[in-house]
């Protein structure tokens, strides 16, 4: 599990179980040395550079320039089967209450017309690290705390380290083919795109990557982009690693990247049936949901809604895009399972947290029409 302590960065740190604020740096007009554990400064009047030594008590220092930073001291060393020592990085947006000057983030994905970025790295030999470009998203426009979705783009991987989770396939993005990993670090979901060989510079559309994550059912267009970051995760060594240039811009307006798929309501009354099969334990549960079109006409695009009893909260889902607002859960088909022929079925599942005794939802609708239970 990597980065379980990222919630302590920028806004403060934990000392004896209490949150203690740390000072944030000002604007860097000349080279600035940062050795403070969570110290940060502004470059170009637009981006924030953070030292962010969260995984070790050993010293780390970064030299901040007007276009990036370089690791000048890295005394930490962590086992390669655990978390890295730090994530020194430069970013646009908001991260644990520390927002870059003039940023328009967080912004809802549906409002983004373009999100472009360029990055140039300098690498070293004899160290264990990744060069990681991070994109953070959340169902709410939060500027503090842990976001629910982390997209990681590994431009370089050195040593016996690997992304969170396991491989789930490949993706063609930015003119390259990437190995895709998917998992959770216990506090947020992670989808990682791993380059087959080191990349020293990249200019690409971050919106294309976000769209790929959306198409995998991990987010929806109603989620918010909160920050775009680029830096390093060192496990062992790393002096000399540098981000020599970084730029990012998120534009809104114009045509949204996607529109919801058209839906055809089931004809006449309760032309659907739902089977809901749960499995619960003390603090959590999973549930499998099977929907059947019991009408005489096909359904092209489905949306299932239902209310969860008090104390239940969805944290993950599969085979559908699942969101929750208050007690109401909305599950929408993915690109490959949206058509229900008469008598046809589709299934999805979700995982959640539980407070109190488990109870199943009592009523479901399909595209606004009530469903019977099967």
Contact present, 373 and 274 (Cβ < 8 Å): yes
Candidates 251, 228, 233, 253; CA nearest to 99 is 228
Nearest CA to 128 out of 183, 191, 185, 86 is that of 86
Confirm if 202 and 196 have CB atoms less than 8 A apart. no
Q: How far apart, in whole angstroms, are the C-alpha atoms of residue 92 and residue 250?
A: 9
d(Cα 199, Cα 120) in Å, to the nearest integer? Answer: 9
Q: What CA–CA distance (Å, rounded) separates 218 from 364?
A: 22
Whole-Å CA distances, 248 to 68, 112, 114, 218: 13, 13, 10, 23
Catalytic residues: 150, 233
Distance CA 42, CA 202 (A): 23
């Amino acid at each position: 599990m990597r980065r379980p302590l990222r919630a302590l960065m920028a806004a403060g740190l934990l000392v004896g179980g209490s949150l203690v604020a740390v000072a944030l740096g000002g604007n860097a007009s000349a080279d600035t040395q940062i050795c403070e554990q969570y110290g940060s400064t502004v470059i170009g009047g637009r981006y924030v550079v953070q030292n962010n030594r969260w995984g070790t008590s050993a010293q780390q220092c970064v030299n901040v320039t007007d276009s990036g930073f370089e690791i000048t001291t890295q005394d930490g060393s962590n086992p390669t089967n655990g978390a890295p020592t730090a994530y020194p990085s430069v970013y646009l947006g908001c991260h644990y209450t520390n927002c870059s000057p003039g940023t328009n983030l967080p912004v809802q994905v549906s409002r983004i017309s373009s999100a472009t970025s360029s990055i140039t790295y300098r690498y070293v030999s004899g160290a264990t690290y990744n060069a990681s470009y991070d994109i953070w998203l959340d169902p709410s426009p939060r500027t503090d705390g842990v976001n629910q979705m982390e997209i990681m783009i590994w431009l370089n991987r050195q040593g016996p380290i690997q992304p969170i989770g396991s491989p789930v396939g490949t993706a063609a993005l930015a003119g390259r083919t990437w190995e895709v990993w998917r998992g959770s670090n216990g506090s947020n979901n992670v989808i990682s795109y791993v380059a087959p060989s080191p990349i020293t510079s990249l200019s690409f559309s971050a919106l294309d990557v976000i769209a790929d994550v959306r198409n995998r059912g991990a987010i929806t267009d109603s989620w918010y982009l909160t920050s775009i970051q680029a830096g390093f995760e060192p496990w062992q060594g790393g002096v000399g690693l540098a981000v020599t240039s970084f730029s990012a811009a998120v534009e809104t307006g114009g045509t949204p990247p996607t529109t919801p798929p058209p839906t055809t309501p089931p004809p006449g009354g309760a032309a659907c049936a739902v089977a809901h099969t749960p499995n619960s334990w003390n603090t959590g549960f999973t549930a499998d949901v099977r929907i059947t079109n019991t009408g005489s006409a096909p359904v092209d695009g489905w949306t299932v809604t239902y209310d969860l009893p008090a104390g239940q909260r969805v944290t993950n889902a599969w085979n559908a895009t699942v969101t929750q607002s208050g007690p109401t859960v909305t599950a929408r088909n993915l690109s490959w399972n949206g058509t229900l022929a008469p008598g046809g079925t589709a299934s999805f599942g979700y995982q959640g947290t539980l407070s109190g005794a488990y109870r199943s939802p009592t009523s479901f609708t399909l595209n606004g029409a009530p469903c019977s239970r099967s």
